[in-house]
Amino acid sequence: MLSIARSELTQILRNRAVLITSLIMPVAVAAFFIRFRETFGQIGSLGYIGAVIVFTIAAFSLYATTVTTLAARRQDLFLKRLRSTAASDASILTGLVLPISAISMVQVAVILGVFAGLSDGPADIPLLVLGVVATFVMMLALGLATAGITNSPEHAQVTSLPLTLGVVAVTSWVGITGTQDLTLLKRLLPGGAATELIVNAWNGGVPLGDSLVLLAPTLAWVVVAVALALRMFRWEPRH
């Protein structure tokens, strides 16, 4: 698994398109929100800004790159070759997604740290960490599912775009308007409950039990995504 992860990290660092789209662009978007944090804080809240940062990195750095990576490795038959080794399917997939997962976690930790240093920090750090981890697990699972219907790295730009933009849009909708209205709909949409959890963790003022309930819809999406991935994921190109 670790040898696969090292090889994949090398591929990521050599791919300029991946570096720009998945690493540099999310950082630029996060920097924009932090730069104008007072304006966006008035539109939503500091928790809203934190949620947008988390979901921008989770959508672009983690989710989209996972889809592109797995589609590319399938197309060049790398997945097929790995599967002929002693490595298990779980080890192969873990090794392939481990580098971008680690990079994305470092990104979000550093950027949220900078944001907290420039503004009021999160009210509940453990709850924030829980919200970030739940978000990343959900987006990673959805990435595996989307990779199952993606034929090539070029095709990944099409298949990953709806969810990439969709979760960021849901984050803005929930972060700005709250969940006083259309509560069930907002929480059931992918990213809605996780956004509310992150906002609560940053802003405070919400009982812990009420916030922990928000993990249920996010984990439900993880279950759905894993089920879809198990059904649709292919190890060889479709002929």
Instruction: Report whether 206 contacts 185 (CB < 8 A).
Output: no
Q: What angle separates helix 46-56 from helix 89-118, to the nearest 10 degrees?
A: 150
> pLDDT (tens digit, 9 = 90+) per residue, 73-130?
999 888 888 888 888 888 999 999 999 999 999 999 999 999 999 988 899 999 999 9
CA distance 1 to 82: 10
Q: Does residue 166 or residue 15 have the better pLDDT?
A: 166
Average pLDDT, the chain: 90
Alpha carbon distance 139, 48 (integer Å): 19
Lowest-pLDDT choice from 33-37, 58-62, 196-200 = 33-37
Q: What whole-number distance in Å separates Cα of residue 82 and Cα of residue 159?
A: 25
Q: 149-167, pLDDT tens digit by residue?
A: 998 888 988 999 999 999 9
pLDDT exceeds cutoff 90 at 132: yes
